[in-house]
Amino acid sequence: MTYEAAQLTFETLTPWLVWFIPMLGAILTPLIAKAGDKARNYFAVAVSLLSALLAASMLPAALGGNVIHHQVEWIPALKITAGVLADPIAVLMANIVAWISFLIMVYSIGYMKDETSLTRYWFFMNFFIGNMQLIVLSDNFLQLFFGWEGVGLCSYGLIGFWNRDEEKHWVGTPGHTVWGVPQAYSPTHAGMKAFITTRIGDISFLIGLLILYSVAGTFDFIHLAENKQWASSLAAMGLLIPVGVLIFGGAIGKSAQFPLHEWLPDAMAGPTAVSALIHAATMVKAGVFLMARAGPIFYSAGSGLGVTGFFEAIAWIGAFTAFLAATQAMVAKEVKKVLAYSTVSQIGYMMLGMGVAGLVADFATGYVAGFFHLTSHAIFKAAMFMGAGALIHATETKYMNEMGGLRKSMRITYISMLLAAAGLAGVPLFSGFWSKDAILGATLSVNTPSAVPLTILASATVFITAFYSFRMIGMIFHGEPSHHLEKLEEHGHHIHEAPRVMWLPYAILAVATVAIGLTGPFFEGALHSIAGSSLEKVFELHVEEEGFKLNFVALGISIAGLGVGAFPAYRYYIARTADPSSLVSGGFLAALYRFLENRWYINALYYKVFVYPSVTIGRGLFKVFETGVIDRLSGAAASSSIAVSSVGNWIDVNIIDWFANGTAAAGTVMSRTARRIQSGVTEQYVFIFVIGIIIVILAVLALGSEMN
């Protein structure tokens, strides 16, 4: 295996700069802010643009199949290096992150206008981008983990950006409770929920990495791929699959997969631009990219060692999460929550593809399918989130049932979101159609008993996705304006299109969704070549030469699912020939609706089992240990200090002060005596001087006679 350059050149420096420049820009943001708000805002956007341009400069080499790898010493005692690995798949991912992030930064200029604390906002946004690029371009697990924790920190700061917790920024419907557990959360609560939940996955990830390092002696991707003895050693100890699953635990947390999925819907408490960044380009895609790195390593090294259990776990969790979250999106009322549940579901699809990769004859089949869907989803979901932000600004509500009839007053937003929704729903000749078909086709190729149930879950998710996608479009843009909008009009608030700085970014992404859809087979073929180059050159995996393959069974499932899901959505929410509320007025469907609306009761269960007991234990410890032990010890220490202080005070008053005062009194007496001698009469001074000389002479004579 050969690399383009080992020494530091412009080519090897570029991957370092792609992630370093946004971080440096974040650090400099407070300094630039002193020059004024406009300077700060445009500087933040310019930094993201520079990073994107540098990422784009790596594309020609990557498309040619070149791999840029550069390392420097990091921890010599442990033989750990820091480095960048710009293989074709990483370069493609870096460009997806960079350019979508740049468009979101441009959008933020309009969306975040007149907000306070924007220096903090721009700092976290660029720091977020830099850490995500660090994940993508790292050449080892340890360095990747630093970026991993960085995006976690930034997500906490950005989800809780509106930290005054005004009710208008809460996520969920106030007053909605499940088993007595409130389902509406403040931004700070949502930020902390995301931080703690993802930390669970991060701890799992770290444990897996430490076990891997203890056996392999390296975190380096290439070394792990070249020297496969570590896999045999782990397998001999029965730890090969557990270590893989522990590492996958990190992806479960960051990508909000079951059972660590509940943080992401509530992350909608953050600004919509943040939601677009987290859901489309950065944090939730980090888990998928981690599997794009770890999956080939375990597949290559674990061949013949029963590693398929690891990929079974990925596929099952992905498929179940896809179905679980899609069902919740069917009944959600908040536009951002529909998109949040959709993101969880579509990430599940990507995980299904990555898991299936290890269960079929050609690893690249599922691998490319999963990465293809990552690409198409990043584009259309960013467009949808930014469109949702424009809608919320224009209508002053987050609820879709308080919108309606907006296709005339917000035509650009309508067309953009319609095109993006078509991609999400898998309409033929849109990007999502090809990427979902690729995942379904790969799933149908699985040669294990899991093939049928995995296909059923994936197929069910297809028609559910079509339903909630067009339900959302119908509720927002079709029908008559809601009473809420009519009241806004009465009070002089006229609904109008978003400013250009906001609609242009999501319009560009909507067009990109169509462009990828129209070139789907060619795009998939090119992606197969790019991914295949990485798999062969970095992970030493053989890749079949075939590119685009159309599976007619998967095609039939996709089109049938689209029809089954889109028809009722069209009837009830677009054409509005029937009232959907009549379906859930009673009976089984009403119970099912409550079950889905209450998030399968999983969120409430977590609060009952984990959150509330932890709070109770914390309060108990505070009462028993803090007040009963620590406070008493502190009180005893304080009493002892007072007693010691009292003794010291007595010594000070009765001994030290007596001595000091006595010394001062003696000095006063001596001073007064000396002052009496100082009469001011010259004759007396001369007389005393003469007497003194005589005394000195007599003393010298007496001393001399004694010595003789």
Residues 50-77: tens digit of each pLDDT: 999 999 999 999 988 899 999 999 999 8
As a whole number of angstroms, the distance between CA 479 and CA 471 comes to 12
3-state secondary structure of 334: strand
Indicate if the pLDDT at residue 646 is higher than 90.
Answer: no
Per residue in 215-234, pLDDT (tens digit) is: 999 999 999 999 999 999 99
Q: Please give the pLDDT value at position 211.
A: 97
| 196-210 average pLDDT score | 97
| 663-673 average pLDDT score | 64
The position carrying tokens 């339900």 is: 471
Amino acid at 276: A
Q: Please give the pLDDT value at position 71.
A: 94
Q: Please give the pLDDT value at position 670.
A: 63
Amino acid at 544: E
Indicate if the pLDDT at residue 6 is higher than 90.
Answer: no
Name the burial class of residue 335, with classes exposed (0-12), middle (13-18) and buried (19+) by CB atoms within 10 angstroms of its CB. buried
| 343-371 average pLDDT score | 95
- Read off the pLDDT band of 4 (50, 70, 90): very low
Indicate if the pLDDT at residue 2 is higher than 60.
Answer: no
Q: Please give the pLDDT value at position 206.
A: 97
* pLDDT > 70 in the chain, percent: 92
Q: Tell me the C-alpha to C-alpha distance, in Å, between residue 322 and each of 342, 357, 592.
A: 8, 17, 18
Q: Tell me the C-alpha to C-alpha distance, in Å, between residue 304 and each of 31, 225, 231, 300, 359.
A: 56, 15, 10, 9, 13
Which of these, 36, 194, 210, lies nearest to 128 by C-alpha position? 194
Which of these, 138, 140, 149, 150, lies nearest to 26 by C-alpha position? 150
Q: Please give the pLDDT value at position 620.
A: 85
Q: Which token pair is 403? A: 């919108």
DSSP conformational letter for 181: E
Mean pLDDT estimate for the chain:
91
Indicate if the pLDDT at residue 686 is higher than 70.
Answer: no
Can you say whether the dihedral through the CA atoms of 147, 264, 428, 500 is positive or negative? negative
DSSP string, 639-661: HHHHHHHHHHHHHIIIIIHHHHH
| 367-384 average pLDDT score | 96
DSSP conformational letter for 172: S
Per residue in 85-131, pLDDT (tens digit) is: 999 999 999 999 999 999 999 999 999 998 999 999 999 999 999 99
- Read off the pLDDT band of 20 (50, 70, 90): very high
Q: What are residue 220's DSSP bridge partners?
A: 140
Can you say whether the dihedral through the CA atoms of 288, 292, 298, 299 is positive or negative? positive
- Read off the pLDDT band of 587 (50, 70, 90): confident
| 559-583 average pLDDT score | 93
As a whole number of angstroms, the distance between CA 269 and CA 274 comes to 10
Indicate if the pLDDT at residue 271 is higher than 80.
Answer: yes
Length of the chain: 708
As a whole number of angstroms, the distance between CA 400 and CA 404 comes to 7
pTM, to two decimals: 0.88
Indicate if the pLDDT at residue 645 is higher than 80.
Answer: no
As a whole number of angstroms, the distance between CA 48 and CA 64 comes to 26
Q: Tell me the C-alpha to C-alpha distance, in Å, between residue 397 and each of 119, 335, 387, 400, 461.
A: 26, 9, 14, 8, 29
- Read off the pLDDT band of 281 (50, 70, 90): confident
- List, in order, residues 6 or more apart from 223 with CB less than 8 Å away: 216
Angle value at C-alpha 601, between 596 and 606, nearest 5 degrees: 145
Lowest mean pLDDT among 77-86, 477-486, 517-526, 633-642: 633-642
| Pairing label, strands 181-182, 177-178 | antiparallel
Angle value at C-alpha 463, between 458 and 468, nearest 5 degrees: 115
Residue, of 663 and 683, whose pLDDT is higher: 663
Q: Please give the pLDDT value at position 220.
A: 96
As a whole number of angstroms, the distance between CA 173 and CA 183 comes to 7
The position carrying tokens 């895609």 is: 285
Per residue in 403-440, pLDDT (tens digit) is: 999 999 999 999 999 999 999 999 999 999 999 999 99
| 585-590 average pLDDT score | 88
Q: Please give the pLDDT value at position 695.
A: 77
Q: Please give the pLDDT value at position 683.
A: 58
Cβ neighbours of 585 (radius 10 Å): 10
Q: What are residue 178's DSSP bridge partners?
A: 181
Q: Please give the pLDDT value at position 659.
A: 72
Indicate if the pLDDT at residue 397 is higher than 80.
Answer: yes
Q: Please give the pLDDT value at position 5.
A: 43
Indicate if the pLDDT at residue 157 is higher than 60.
Answer: yes
The position carrying tokens 């975040």 is: 112
Which DSSP helix (H) or strand (E) runs through 177?
strand 177-178
CA dihedral of residues 435, 440, 444, 450 (deg, nearest 10):
120
| 551-574 average pLDDT score | 93
- List, in order, residues 6 or more apart from 678 with CB less than 8 Å away: none
Q: Which token pair is 414? A: 């309508």
Per residue in 517-539, pLDDT (tens digit) is: 999 999 999 999 999 989 999 99
Is the Cβ–Cβ distance between 469 and 569 less than 8 Å? Answer: yes
**Alpha helix positions (H), 64-117:** 88-111
DSSP conformational letter for 580: G
Largest CA distance in the chain: 141
| 186-212 average pLDDT score | 97
What is the separation of C-alpha 623 from the centre of its chain, rounded to a whole number of angstroms? 35
As a whole number of angstroms, the distance between CA 550 and CA 525 comes to 11
Indicate if the pLDDT at residue 549 is higher than 80.
Answer: no
Q: What are residue 115's DSSP bridge partners?
A: none
Indicate if the pLDDT at residue 678 is higher than 60.
Answer: no
Indicate if the pLDDT at residue 617 is higher than 80.
Answer: yes
